[in-house]
Amino acid sequence: MSVTSDNLQGVRQRIRSAVEAAQRAPGSVTLIAVSKTFPASAVLDAMHADQQVFGENYVQEAVEKMAEVAAADVTPAIWHFIGPIQSNKTRTIAAHFDWVHGIDRLKIAERLSAQRAAERGDLRVLIEVNLDGEASKSGVVPEAVPAMARAIVALPRLRLSGLMAVPAARTDPAEQRAVFARLRELAEALRREDLPCEHLSMGMSADFEAAIAEGSTIVRVGSAIFGARRIHEEHGA
C-alpha cells in the first residue's frame, strides 16, 4: 500500500468514527481529496485506493491534471472547484468541473450559468459564506445568503446544492462546533423557505470531526491525505 492509500484509510476511519459519534447514517459524509498542487500521479494513487472525488483550486493546473487522469484506465473522477473564482476563469470551470464550491457573487453564478454547455448537465454549486467576516477571505455575509440562493435557483444549468465555508482556524472543539453550527442554521433557514440546501461543505483536516458533529455532508481534506502542501506559483484561481 502507498502512503496515500494508508493516509486515506486513516481519514476514512476518522470520518466513520465522527459519523458514528454524531449518530448519523453511515455514508452520509462525502470525502473530497483536495489534490491542488499535487501531481496527477498522486490523484491516481488515491483512485487506486477507491477515492473518486477530488478538489482543485488552480484552474490551469487542474485542467492539465484532469487530462492526465482521464488518459489512465480508471473510473472517471468527480471534480470539485473549491477556490476563489476570477471572472476570466468561469468558462474553463464551467467546461471541466462537476461542482463549484465558491459562489460568492451573483456575477460569477450568472457567468457559469451562461457558459455551461447543456450536454454537460447541470453544474452543482454551493454558496460560500464568510462566517467570520474576514477581509482576507471570499464569501457572502450570512445575511445575504437567502437572496443569493433565490437568485441562483432562477439560473439555468446550475443546481444549487448547499452552502460552503472556510472559517478561521480554531483549536478548541467547542469553538469549532459553534462556528459550524452557524452554517447549519443558515441551511435550515433556507430549507424553511423551500430553497434547496442538501449539502454543507465544511470541515478540513484539522476540524472535520467538529463539522460532522454539526451536520457537514462534505469534508475537504488535503494534507492529511497527500502530506504537506507544495508551493504553487499561480495566483488566485
CA distance 88 to 173: 39
- Domain range enclosing 64: 3-226
In a domain, 100, yes or no: yes
DSSP classification of residue 21: H
Phi-psi region of 23 (alpha: psi -120 to 50; beta: other; left: phi over 0): left
Tell me the three state secondary structure of residue 5.
Answer: helix
CATH of the domain at 92: 3.20.20.10
Q: What is the phi/psi pair of residue 164, to 5°?
A: -140, 150
Specify which residues 136 forms β-bridges with. none
Closest Cα partner for 54 from 235, 232, 236, 222? 222
- In a domain, residue 101? The reply is yes
R_g (Cα) of the chain, nearest Å = 17
Within 10 Å of residue 46's Cβ, how many Cβ atoms? 24
Structural domain includes residue 236: no
The end-to-end CA distance of the chain, in Å, is 33
Q: Indicate whether 234 belongs to any domain.
A: no
DSSP string, 96-145: H-SEEEEE-SHHHHHHHHHHS-GGG-PEEEEEEE-TT--TTS--B-GGGH
Residue 131 within any structural domain of the chain: yes
Reported as a single tens digit per residue, the pLDDT across 155-209 is: 999 999 999 999 999 999 999 999 999 999 999 999 999 999 999 999 999 999 9
Domain total in the chain:
1
Cα 125 from Cα 129, distance rounded (Å): 13
C-alpha distances (whole Å) from 44 to each of 36, 104, 232 are 13, 31, 20
How large is the average pLDDT for residues 23-43? 97
Do the domain assignments include residue 153? yes
| pLDDT tens digits along 86-126 | 999 999 999 999 999 989 999 999 999 999 999 999 999 99
Q: Please enumerate in sequence order all residues whose Cβ is within 8 A of that of 136, keeping only pairs 6 or more positions apart, or say none.
A: none
Please tell me the predicted confidence (pLDDT) of residue 234: 37
Contact 176, 133 (CB under 8 A): no
Q: Does the residue 9 lie in any domain?
A: yes
pTM of the model: 0.94
Position 78 in a domain? yes
- Give one DSSP letter per residue of 79-99, joined into a string: EEE-S---GGGHHHHHHH-SE
pLDDT at 228 over 90: no
